[in-house]
């Protein structure tokens, strides 16, 4: 607002008082020197409210004025003159409809009585927000994580190793394009916000990732990521038991294991946590033996190179199933790499049914992500 002339008028029209709260109006006058409101100046309020209702919602601020002189009625609202004086002449009891604040002297000649002065104080109680009007406090930045679908991510997430998961980094009241990220190492590095947080390359274990606004260490978010690997059956023994003549077989219907360096079992357990709460079990089933004509029954007696302490011990018969038990603890929870000993034997149950030819059977290995 600029300096008024002798006959200027200010009219405030407000509609909506019946359906919503009265607004607060702040006029910032750019006057330097003395501001004078004279007999020919008028401030009026129209619409569906009155000056009595709206007066204590109005602030007239004069940041540059050396003096504000109100020498006539019809000027309503609080006067804020931080570096000057205020003079209110004896213009009648309705000249004041709010409060006066001055950095200099105040001279009030008005006939305003004490009751009207109390009634017309500036209305702080209905000011929107939690504090009286003043300089706005800048909003602090915020930072949080969401899924690529926009769903908010909590403080912890569980994933599998190599799982292609990317979390989006969302900030507010922050104009930068990069954030700082630390993954349990104590060293932060900058990454573009647009790239998000890639979890695919995290190793098995628990990671605490901190993402913060550069230059504002107190603005950060944390997420705990538990990465679990897989339980896999990587290799099973491929067994060969050699040859015998029919007459030799009739005397001894058993076959010794022939080593070809492929009789190894390998199980990899990268599940997390590795605290004994993720057991697994291994079993094997044996089919009948057949030379392409008729099946015959047999059995295989497994012997581990680790002896009684090994896993690969026990006997499986045709159409039967063997669940391996390592030293009385079938609920294993770690990786295994173990070979069969040469003492492993194949026995044909009904030797009288054997004919000349090559006999084969199938071993079906089953690794279960559960105890026996």
Domain residue limits, the chain: 9-119, 142-228, 231-368
CA atoms of 202 and 205, how far apart (whole Å): 8
Three-state secondary structure string covering the chain: CCCCCCCCEEEEEECCCCCCCCCCEEEECCCCEEEEECCCCEEEEEECCCHHHHHHHEEEECCCEEEEEECCCCCCCEEEECCCEEEECCCCCCCCCCCEEECCCEEECCCCCHHHHHHCCCCCCCCCCCCCCCCCCCCCCEEEEECCCCCECCCEEEEECCCCCEEEEEEECCCCCEEEEEECCCCCEEEEHHHCEECCCCCCEEEEEEEEECCEEEEEEEEEEEEECCEEEEECCCCCCCCCCHHHHHHCCEEECCCCCCCEEEEEECCCCCCCCCCEEEEEEECCEECCCCEECEEEEECECCHHHCCCCEEEEECEEEECCECCECCECCCEEEEECCCCEEEECCHHHCCCCCCECCEEEEEECCCC
Q: How far is it, in rounded angstroms, from Cα 35 to Cα 19?
A: 36
Chosen CATH of 142-228 out of 2.60.40.10, 1.10.357.10, 2.30.30.60, 2.60.120.200: 2.60.40.10
The reply to whether domains 142-228 and 231-368 share a CATH topology is: yes
Per-residue pLDDT at 172: 92
pLDDT value, residue 162:
92
Is 231-368 CATH 1.10.10? no
61, 27 contact by CB (below 8 A) = yes
pLDDT at position 6: 67
Structure confidence at residue 130 (pLDDT) = 61
Supply the pLDDT for residue 47: 84
Closest residue by Cα to residue 267 from 330, 315, 201, 311: 311
Structure tokens at 337: 């790499």
User: For each successive 10 residues of the chain (372 residues), what is the average pLDDT?
Assistant: 74 78 87 86 83 84 92 81 89 68 88 70 75 65 93 92 94 93 87 94 92 91 93 93 88 86 86 75 94 90 92 94 80 86 90 86 91 64
Which pLDDT score, from 0 to 100, does residue 191 have?
A: 94
Give the C-alpha separation, 69 to 67, whole Å. Answer: 6
């Amino acid at each position: 607002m600029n300096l008024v002339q002798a006959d200027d008028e200010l009219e405030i029209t407000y509609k909506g008082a019946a359906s919503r709260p009265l607004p607060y109006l702040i006029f910032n006058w750019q006057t330097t020197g003395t501001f004078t409101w004279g007999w020919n100046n008028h401030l009026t309020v129209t619409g569906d409210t009155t000056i009595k209702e709206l007066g204590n919602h109005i602030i007239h601020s004069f940041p540059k004025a050396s003096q504000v002189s109100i020498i006539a009625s019809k000027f309503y609202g609080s006067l804020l003159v931080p570096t000057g004086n205020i003079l209110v002449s004896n213009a009648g009891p309705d000249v004041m409809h709010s409060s006066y604040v001055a950095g200099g002297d105040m001279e009030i000649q008005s006939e305003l009585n004490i009751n009207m002065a109390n009634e017309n104080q500036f209305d702080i109680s209905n000011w929107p927000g939690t504090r009286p009007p003043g300089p706005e406090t800048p909003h602090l930045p915020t930072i949080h994580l969401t899924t690529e679908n926009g769903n908010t991510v909590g403080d912890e997430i569980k994933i599998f190793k190599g799982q292609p998961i990317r979390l989006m980094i969302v900030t507010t009241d922050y104009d930068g394009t990069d954030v700082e990220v630390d993954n349990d190492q104590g060293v932060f590095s900058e990454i573009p916000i647009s790239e998000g947080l890639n979890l695919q390359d995290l190793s098995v274990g628990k990671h605490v990732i901190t993402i913060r606004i550069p230059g504002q260490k107190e603005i950060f978010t944390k997420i705990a990521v538990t990465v679990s690997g897989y339980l896999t059956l990587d290799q099973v023994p491929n067994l060969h038991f050699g040859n015998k003549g029919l007459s030799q077989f009739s005397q001894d219907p058993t076959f010794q294991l022939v080593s070809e360096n492929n009789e190894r079992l390998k199980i990899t357990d990268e599940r997390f946590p590795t605290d004994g709460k993720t057991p697994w079990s291994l079993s094997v089933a044996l089919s009948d033996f057949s030379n392409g004509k008729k099946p015959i029954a047999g059995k295989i007696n497994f012997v581990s190179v680790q002896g009684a302490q090994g896993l690969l011990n026990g006997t499986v018969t045709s159409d039967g199933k063997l669940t391996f038990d390592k030293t009385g603890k079938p609920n294993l929870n770690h990786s295994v790499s173990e070979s069969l000993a040469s003492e492993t034997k194949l026995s044909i149950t009904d030797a009288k049914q054997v004919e000349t030819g090559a006999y084969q059977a199938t071993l079906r290995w089953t690794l279960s992500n559960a105890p026996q």
